[in-house]
Amino acid sequence: MAPWRTLLDDDDDDKLDFEELLLKHIAPGLGCIIAFLMFVSPLKTVLQVRANKHLGDFNPLPLVAIIANCTGWLLYGCINADVYVICANEPGLLLGVFMTVSCYGFADPRARDFMLKALMFFTVVLSSVGIVIALFIEDDEKASKLAGYTAVFILLCYYSAPLSTMAEVLRTRSSASLFWPISIMNTINGLLWVAYGTAVHDAFIAVPNAIGAAFGVIQIILINVYPAKKPPPPPAGDVEPLLAEGAHVA
């Protein structure tokens, strides 16, 4: 009976090895790819904004949330030396900065003010956490927890940012202000990181991503219930860019 038992044990070990490979490496690896696609999904619209010099119905607030979200998770990933978390968020930070700056110049004064306030709020939060960790926390586990709670808070803000227009969607019965590629990517990305967080026993990764996947499903439902209506063209001269056409900064 010993040879048969050995074969069964080997099969169990192979199964465990495959599950570990799937959950601890393949899932977060795919999560990095999906995260990049999620962060790059508004780029086409942002480039159209740059060409048309007008935001239209595009909501720029999620772009600010991308910067804050990626910065928070880069802090958490660096403290815990998690290469998957770092690789998933570094491209998002760079894209977030580019897209936010691109849209800011063509937003109306109210949207500019809202973007600036959000950016300043997240900057104060993240810089304060970094200062506290650097100067007052010596224990790595406590530093990881503080960074984790901060990243979770910002992640939930990022996932819920498109829902800031939910009242407008219900009022106009149009989901033009919701961006469906982001909603789909949020759902898939959230599920992949839930699998990884569960496998490595990291609630900071698993729990908020489960909530984020649920947010994505809600957004998809709204998009299907209230299809986007094509907005009328903006009146000429309604919004002035920060820099006149042809001008440059020395």
Can you give the residue ranges of every domain in the chain? 22-225
Angle between helices 203-225 and 180-199 (to 10 degrees): 160
pLDDT, position 182 = 73
Asked whether the predicted pLDDT for residue 135 surpasses 70, the reply is yes
Confidence of residue 227 (pLDDT cuts 50, 70, 90): confident
pLDDT, position 246 = 43
pLDDT, position 8 = 39
What tens digit of pLDDT does each residue of 76-115 get? 999 999 999 999 999 999 999 999 999 998 998 999 999 9
pLDDT, position 232 = 58
**CA atoms within 13 Å, Cβ hemisphere of 177:** 19
pLDDT, position 247 = 41
Note whether 192 and 30 are within 8 A (CB).
Answer: yes
Of 40-49, 124-133, 158-167, the one with minimum mean pLDDT is 158-167
Confidence of residue 172 (pLDDT cuts 50, 70, 90): confident
**In the predicted model, what is the mean pLDDT of residues 55-59?**
84
Confidence of residue 62 (pLDDT cuts 50, 70, 90): confident
Confidence of residue 4 (pLDDT cuts 50, 70, 90): very low
d(C-alpha 87, C-alpha 234), whole Å: 40
Q: Residue 144 carries which side chain, given as an amino acid letter?
A: S
pLDDT, position 163 = 61
pLDDT, position 5 = 43
pLDDT, position 234 = 54
When the pLDDT of each residue in the chain is averaged and rounded to a whole number, the result is 84
pLDDT, position 226 = 86
pLDDT, position 7 = 39
